[in-house]
Amino acid sequence: MDSVNLEVLKSSARWLEQGHRALLVTVVKTWGSSPRPEGAMLAVRDDGAVVGSVSGGCIEDDLIDRVRQRGIEQTKPEVVSYGISAEEAHRFGLPCGGSIQLVLEPLTQTSGIAQLCGALEDGWLVARALDMETGIARLSPAQATDGVEFDGRRLLTIHGPRYRMLVIGAGQLSRYLCNIAVGLDYQVTVCDPRDEYTDEWNVPGTTIVRTMPDDTVLDMKLDERCAVIALTHDPKLDDLALMEALKTPAFYVGAVGSRRNNAARRERLKEFDLSETELARLHGPVGMYIGSRTPPEIAVSILAEVTAVKNGVMMPPSLQVAAAKSSRGMAPSIVDRELACFA
């Protein structure tokens, strides 16, 4: 599963290879309640075909109409703005007060899109600097903390996974979770020393390692842009990962299991000299309460909670699994019977 911007870049490279012209559109600045964040991309082919998104749809329609009516005649990037006036905001369907500034870049074989896609396929984090005067783009290594920069003369965009995710266990739930996580732009590593699971692992865009989980956590040198999710239900594996991960700056550390199992896990982890503050960082039962039952639904639940934490959103108790089930009067025995294998 490709992330949205990678899909845009791959489509652009393919169109150029087929002899088409293409216009790459990038959100460079937003004001108010904009529909898409800075760095969001859209590509329009010379016949009006489109991939990606920069708004809820109306601006896309205007850009498509622009290409169909005028073609892609420009040779240098240009800046356009939408939603500056109330009339434009109404016309283009922007939220109240929302405005966006876009860079429209006509792509050619010398734009470096194919090279950029190649670097991303190899797992690199890449900065692309576009000179607005010449239209020349240069690629260079980027840092995870870098972001979109635009000063009217140069547009700097960052491409590749800036967040990492370590998943403990290569079972069925992990497959669904990892497929979605790759689409969310995570660089995903799956750790499972059990051959019966790793031999059949085939999720594209992920790295599988067969080392012990605690060693893997230490080797990855987790930082504040990392998430760790333990999914094996085997304390010998999950607890090893958690005891090390909770000591790191990782923004999210969670483990699957029922309320009863997670209470037992917390007691076990106390034996590893984890402080109360460190234990309080553990998310468990993992996930957002959405009534999930099947592995795909549970994967969505888990990644919804990870996304909320990453974005600094505090979930109300009604959406936290343990609190939600307690308020609904579900006895632990029921949870253990129905959800022992899930969140």
**How confident is the model over 121-178, as pLDDT tens digits?**
887 889 999 999 999 999 999 988 888 999 999 999 999 888 999 999 999 999 999 9
Higher pLDDT, 331 or 35: 35
Q: How does residue 293 score in pLDDT terms, banded at 50, 70 and 90?
A: confident
Higher pLDDT, 131 or 328: 131
Half-sphere exposure of 22 (CA within 13 A, CB side): 29
CATH superfamily of 163-339: NAD(P)-binding Rossmann-like Domain (3.40.50.720)
What are the sequence ranges of the domains in the chain? 4-159, 163-339
| Amino acid 325: pLDDT | 64
Q: How far apart are the first and last CA of the chain?
A: 24
Task: Tell me if 130 sits within 8 A of 107, measured CB to CB.
Answer: no
Higher pLDDT, 19 or 55: 19
Average pLDDT, the chain: 87
8 Cβ neighbours under 8 A, 6+ residues apart:
24, 41, 42, 43, 51, 52
User: Which segments within 233-303 are labelled E, that is strand?
Assistant: 252-255, 282-283
Provide the angle, in degrees to the nearest 10, between the axes of the packed helices 213-220 and 235-245: 20
**pLDDT winner (highest mean) among 21-25, 145-149, 313-317:** 21-25
Question: Which residues lie across from 282 on neighbouring strands?
Answer: 253
Two tokens at 293? 């039952």
Which residue pairs from 260-263 have beta carbons closer than 8 angstroms and sit at least 24 positions apart in sequence?
260/332, 260/335, 260/336, 261/233, 261/336, 261/340, 262/322
CA distance 59 to 56: 7
CA distance 280 to 278: 5
